[in-house]
Amino acid sequence: MDKTQKFNMIFAIIAVFGILFFHEVWTEQQKVEAVPYSEMEVLLQQGKVKELTIREQYIVGELKEADENGKTYIIANRVDPKLAEQLSQYKVPFTQVHESKFLATLLSWIVPALIFFGIWFLLIRKLMERQGGMGGGFMNIGKSKAKIYVEQQTGVSFEDVAGVEESKAELQEIVEFLKAPDDYGKLGARMPKGILLVGPPGTGKTLLSRAVAGEAAVPFFSISGSEFVEMFVGVGAARVRDLFEQARKSAPAIIFIDELDALGRARSAAGLGGNDEREQTLNQLLVELDGFDPSTGLVLLAATNRPEVLDPALLRAGRFDRQVLVDRPDKKGRIEILNVHMKKVQVGEDVDASQVADFTTGFSGADLANLVNEAALLATRRKAEKVSMEDFTQAIERIVAGLEKKNRLLNPREREIVAYHEVGHALAALALPGSDPVYKISIIPRGIGALGYTLQRPTEDRFLMTKEELENKIAVLLGGRAAEKLFFNHLSTGASDDIARATDIARNMVTRYGMDPDIGFVVYEENQQSFLNQQHGHGVSGCQISDSTAHQIDASVRKIIDDTFVRTYEILEANKEILDRCAKVLLDKETLLEEELAELSKGLQS
């Protein structure tokens, strides 16, 4: 049962009881306490009656003064057919009324029913508008479900959006145009018809669009791409027309389509083709984009995290003229985002947003908001007055490595293997130049399969890496397997995830980065995620290579892994005593921090 049906049922019950109540009140108002006719005659003789009204069955008399009960009206049964002759002697004015009891009874039922029906009609209309469908039922199936927001409803401004300054600057121009459209036409320029926000999930695309509506103080039509398509053919196209028609009436206004890839996926010649419902909806959107004039103050915003699947006709100039990348924030952006969210919680003096940003490389805005919330929950759980830096550290570990499994008990042999494995990672990172500093080592199980973890803290954001740095990254990943072989001379399943990640890096070095001299500077695998200005038909289409080249790629990947493993093994073998000492302390404490590890690893050879 949806909200509308539930509302109708509740209102119907209330209406029935209300009508019964009003009918009872109506009926009660018609009842007056009767007195004997002889008593009315006495009152007439005493001159206390001001006026009489003669009805078919009874007489109503209005007294000159209220009686001892405060009543000014009395009623008596009519008994004498020659009443007029008798009443004339008292010199009291009187009238006779002929009435219909059927009409009075009918009004007592119809009037309350009409009142409740009018109230129901107004409330159900408001409910439909709030749900986004300008009316309900089959006849309104083609109506747009867009929700209209205005400034006081969005409650978001550019001050609430941090870490995406370039994107904000692009959209600030849209706000200025909506506020003063005449200023942009002086030099013959026109505003873009459509702005496409592109970026990974959680980077703030929807938040940016709401901030534009809040800053411009214009009607904001918001709808998801999936809401256009229904089971009935032609419904999506009708909703597109209805949405743009509503926006034109409210111009200047903003139309925001979230998850555009659900509506604008590339068309194909296979299948139903132009008769397909989704393609009809897309065709109607393309027509509307060609038809509306941006000088009227109508701006179209859309967001997607899968631009590679959009139809090329949707991205051409004249439709979505401007494409704005909303990427994951850099360190400066992460600090700004953390400061925005930290204002909402009580943080301690030891909390350093810059240090938290160091640990959160690659986090999106939504991830950072979740991090601050997790830290606040941890502080609340331990009944602290403020959120400390330790709470943030534990929240990062929980997000990155998983929930701590205190009840998962390892036997002494497994704990020993895990300890040497994790110290192997840490010493390899300390010995190799350019590796991220090790912040913490732990052998406490976390998540689904992590029996221990080594947490590194990047010193800066990196946007490109050299071949040597990638090889060092592989060496750190293989440090755990090398330590196990060095001390126990056997192999365990604990290094499976490390080997998978190392193999992935090595394969990318060969097939995508062109870092193997024997293979050459050739790309054999396409990038898994295409972004702006990369339309279909460009770049590498799949892995179309010969068998001999595939064998050569496999051999090159294996050689990178094997050579790096030998180098890592030699480093740990040269520092075997330090590794043994650190592992024994880790077995005792279960956790080693950066300062303790630096003290234990003095004299480490590179």
Count CA within 13 A, CB hemisphere, residue 283: 12
**Spatial separation of the C-alpha atoms in residues 541 and 150, rounded to whole Å:** 45
- Residues in Cβ contact with 553 at an 8 Å cutoff, skipping those fewer than 6 apart: 507, 510, 511, 519, 524, 545
**Spatial separation of the C-alpha atoms in residues 345 and 359, rounded to whole Å:** 20
The whole-number average pLDDT for the span 70-82 is 57
pTM for the model: 0.67
Query: What is the pLDDT at residue 426?
Result: 93
Distances (CA, A) of 573 to 392, 484, 559, 599: 36, 11, 21, 19
Better-scored residue on pLDDT, 549 or 222:
549
> Crossing angle for the helix pair 547-574 and 576-589, nearest 10 degrees?
80
**Spatial separation of the C-alpha atoms in residues 19 and 117, rounded to whole Å:** 11
Architecture of the domain made up of 331-401:
Orthogonal Bundle (1.10)
pLDDT band at residue 601 using 50, 70 and 90 as cut-offs? confident
Active site residue 422: yes
The whole-number average pLDDT for the span 509-531 is 79
**Spatial separation of the C-alpha atoms in residues 450 and 593, rounded to whole Å:** 19
Does the domain at 142-325 match CATH 3.40.50.970? Answer given as no
State the CATH class of domain 412-600: mainly alpha
pLDDT in tens, 413-460: 889 999 999 999 999 999 998 888 888 898 888 866 678 888 887 767
Better-scored residue on pLDDT, 238 or 1:
238
* pLDDT over 50 (residue 1): yes
Reading the block at residue 453, the tokens are 């973890």
pLDDT in tens, 245-276: 888 887 778 888 888 888 888 776 554 444 46
- Residues in Cβ contact with 401 at an 8 Å cutoff, skipping those fewer than 6 apart: 446, 447, 450, 453, 455
Query: What is the pLDDT at residue 4?
Result: 58
Count CA within 13 A, CB hemisphere, residue 84: 3
Give the position of tokens 């109607």: 284
Please tell me if the domain spanning 3-102 has the same topology as the one spanning 412-600.
no
Selected catalytic residue, list 422, 469, 484, 525: 422
Q: Quick one: 118 exposed, middle or buried, by C-beta within 10 A (0-12, 13-18, 19+)?
A: exposed
Give the position of tokens 């494409």: 323
pLDDT in tens, 361-376: 888 889 999 999 999 9
Domain map of the chain by residue range?
A: 3-102, 142-325, 331-401, 412-600
| Torsion-angle region of 155 (φ positive above 0: left; ψ -120 to 50: alpha; else: beta) | left
* pLDDT over 70 (residue 79): no
pLDDT band at residue 49 using 50, 70 and 90 as cut-offs? confident
Looking at the DSSP bridge assignments, the partners of residue 592 are 441
**Spatial separation of the C-alpha atoms in residues 409 and 412, rounded to whole Å:** 9
Q: Look up residue 340 and give its amino acid.
A: V
**Spatial separation of the C-alpha atoms in residues 184 and 191, rounded to whole Å:** 8
* pLDDT over 70 (residue 8): no
Is the CB of residue 52 less than 8 Å from the CB of residue 59?
A: yes
State the CATH class of domain 3-102: alpha beta
Query: What is the pLDDT at residue 170?
Result: 84
- Residues in Cβ contact with 380 at an 8 Å cutoff, skipping those fewer than 6 apart: none
